[in-house]
Amino acid sequence: MPKNTITSAISIFFLAAGIVLSIFIVLSGAVNSSPMNKVYFLQASTAGISGSGPSVPNPARWTYFSICSARNGNNAACGKVTAAQPFDPRRNFGTRNGLPDQFANGGSMYYYESRVAWAFYIIALFFAVMALLLSVTALCSRLAAKFTGMMTIIALVAQAVAAALMTAWTVQARSVFRKNGQAASLGPYAYGFTWATFFAWLIATVLFCIGGSGEKKDSGYQKKSYFGRKRSTRSRGSFRDSESGRRVKDEYE
């Protein structure tokens, strides 16, 4: 079996695995089934927080599509499904009462970090799916492997941005809640799936590039044999020319 076929097959496996994990993340808060109902980015106690809007869940879990409560370790009683769900407790709960000062009087940094991360999760997943659709042709074509590798690189970079922003806002927000005397924790499944996706696509990218950079030994051999024949033809031609020259000289003499 050709080398590029083996590496492409392995890279397709890692690419597909990352896509599945990414889907688990982006469906959290919208689908109430395992493992999506275990995925959340941040959980925090909301004791003392009250507002005039919808009831504030306690604890509150920020997922990809909504804010949920927790029951038996799973997401429960999730709120309205919202695209580009940001982390902004003042907007999320419709109140300032009981919120840490950094959230009550500002919080725009967390808002933009979480919202941009939301977008990059989608961008990464889109290019990964496109790469997977093209990857079948990468099994038998070096050019297809290179092009698929380029698509995977874009997905990898977008996933890196999403993971970095997600890590930034969740860690910072957890610290703010804890300083305010409220229990807060990071979502192990969201973190695990996010970074596992990144490393799976990193491996896939490397393998696609290796598969696309392999050289064709047969074509190289043909080039060598071609030039070899060409050189040998010249030598035979020059030998014949010299022989015919001697004969003409002998006949003349």
Residue 140 pLDDT class (50, 70, 90 cuts): low
C-alpha separations of 22 from 16, 91, 119, 155, 230 in Å: 10, 27, 13, 11, 57
Instruction: Find where tokens 């990193």 sit.
Output: 202
> What is d(CA 158, CA 194) in angstroms, rounded to the nearest whole number?
12
pLDDT band at 6 (very low <50, low <70, confident <90, very high): confident
Local structure of residue 137 (DSSP, 8 states): G
Query: Are 155 and 124 contacting, i.e. CB atoms less than 8 angstroms apart?
Result: yes
Count of other CB atoms within 10 angstroms of residue 209? 18
List Cβ neighbours of 178 (8 Å cut-off, separation of 6 or more): 184
Q: What pLDDT score does 136 carry?
A: 77
pLDDT at 244: 53
> Is a pLDDT exceeding 70 seen at residue 249?
no
| pLDDT of the residue at 227 | 42
Contact criterion met (CB below 8 Å) for 154 and 127: yes
Q: How many CB atoms lie within 10 A of CB 237?
A: 10
Q: Is the pLDDT of residue 100 over 50?
A: yes
Mean pLDDT of 183-208: 94
Average pLDDT, the chain: 82
How buried is residue 133: exposed, middle or buried, by Cβ count under 10 Å (0-12/13-18/19+)? Answer: exposed
Of 154, 152, 151, 165, which Cα lies nearest the Cα of 194? 165
pLDDT digits (tens, 9 = 90+) for 46-88: 988 876 555 788 899 999 999 999 999 999 999 889 888 899 9
